[in-house]
Structure 1
Amino acid sequence: MVLEALSAWQHVSPARRSGIWQRLAVRVPRQAIYTTATLGFDYEFVIYSASSDALRVRLLVFLELWLGIGVKHVVFLELWLGITSLELWLGMADEHEEPLSCGSGWRVLLV
């Protein structure tokens, strides 16, 4: 999984990497993140230490890079996915008239 994150990271422009790096450091303060500049190359390797947030961080970085969306949209998506996961885990989606997801009118779709 770390190799996949590194692979995606190296194909992004340096300015975009810098912005993502700053947002990532703010978004996940518990996550230990290390960068190493590689001589002769114009990209950085990002190594995430093993923790409970590592997979979530990689998913958010992947979504931001792949969809080309800003941090506020990624945070909204993260919040929506978290609430939906909580509803499904607690079995609330079928029992509630008003699901918690994103306010009134939004429904959790069963896959």
Structure 2
Amino acid sequence: MSRTKTAETIENVEFPSFDASKATDQMRAFAEKGVEQSKEAYAKLKTGAEETQKALESSYETAKTVSNDLSLKTISALRANAEAGFSHLEALIGAKSLS
């Protein structure tokens, strides 16, 4: 008897049908959404990288200009100091007395 009841129960149970076309459509939609999100993320990353590159180039140019100015001022100060030292030395050599 248990076999017949089991068989009757199995016959009365309805299993959901699997529609492959719906699953394919859902997978396609999911993949397309993923591709679109990836494109958006790439565009944002590219824009950020370009802005960062421009900022770095600007910073580099500013640092280069400041460095050149500082180098020229340093050379000018060293030259003035050397000239003052030589002028003083010439004055000492040209002195007639120690006082």
Q: TM-score range by the shorter chain?
A: under 0.3
Structure with higher strand content: 1
Q: Taking CA–CA contacts closer than 8 Å with sequence separation of 6 or more, which of the two structures ends up with the larger relative contact order? A: 1
Structure with higher helix content: 2
Larger radius of gyration: 2
TM-score, normalisation: structure 1:
0.20
TM-score, normalisation: structure 2:
0.21
